[in-house]
Amino acid sequence: MRIDILTLFPEIMEGSFSASIMKRAQEKGYAEIHLHNIRDYSTNKHKKVDDYQYGGGAGMVMAIEPIAAVIEKLKTERLYDEIIYMSPDGVVLDQAICNQFSVVNNLMILCGHYKGVDERVREHYITKEISIGSYVLSGGELAAAVLVDAVVRLIPGVLNDETSALTDSFQDNLLSPPVYTRPPEFNGWKVPDVLLSGDFNKIDKWREEQALERTKQRRPDLLE
């Protein structure tokens, strides 16, 4: 999968893609992530990318020209499955959306900043608007990093143990059961006996029960 991210602040995102699973996914060729600085596409002599809003009011608006220039250029190079704008008024991201994105070839993601982007960008270029929750961030960069991480780890082959994504929370609309590792006892706090029993039928059953119980207690909405 190829992901092109359009931003005014690529440096905010670089760290999140340069370690751990995201780094490995790129090294192994499962994901190709390209950061494009929108400022490089400004034709203004001061490299200006924002302006005051029509009608007055606080906050700068990202202008359409440099954004359109990047999008138009990238669109001549390949066909994009989606052109996504990160936005607090978009569809709230969930695991089902991540699963859908994890099988596409080309994604473009636009990060807003300040008051956001000129509405005409959204009307004429954007195919999906995604929010990561009901709160406002300073920019779309952290939101885009969340989206990319959640999607890329689902690409088949990215996680070493293929089943490990399938048993995560929200797959099957269930939260994940509790997990333990050695030592079997710490400060008198014991690992549940069943996990040490070696009886894998019993262990599977215990995990299912725990997942269901946890979901009932913490996220009953998932079971509706």
Query: Which of 88, 104, 149, 167 lies at the binding interface for ligand SAH (CB under 6 A)?
Result: 88
Tell me how far, at minimum, the Cβ of 164 lies from ligand SAH, in Å: 27
Tell me how far, at minimum, the Cβ of 167 lies from ligand SAH, in Å: 27
The answer to whether 34 touches 2, Cβ cutoff 8 Å, is yes
Query: Which of 14, 89, 193, 209 lies at the binding interface for ligand SAH (CB under 6 A)?
Result: 89
Looking at beta carbons only, is 107 or 158 nearer to ligand SAH? 107
Query: Which of 12, 64, 74, 139 lies at the binding interface for ligand SAH (CB under 6 A)?
Result: 139
Distance between CA 15 and CA 20 in Å, rounded?
10
According to DSSP H, which parts of the chain are helical?
A: 10-14, 20-27, 64-77, 95-101, 119-124, 141-152, 163-166, 193-196, 200-218
Distance between CA 80 and CA 207 in Å, rounded?
40
Cα four-point dihedral sign 210, 216, 218, 224? positive
- Under the binding rule (CB under 6 A), the answer on residue 131 touching ligand SAH is yes
- Under the binding rule (CB under 6 A), the answer on residue 148 touching ligand SAH is no
Rg, Å, the chain Cα set: 22
- Under the binding rule (CB under 6 A), the answer on residue 106 touching ligand SAH is no
4, two tokens: 């092109």
Looking at beta carbons only, is 109 or 175 nearer to ligand SAH? 109
Looking at beta carbons only, is 31 or 67 nearer to ligand SAH? 67
Residues near ligand SAH, by CB under 6 A: 86-89, 111-113, 115-116, 131-133, 135-137, 139-140, 143
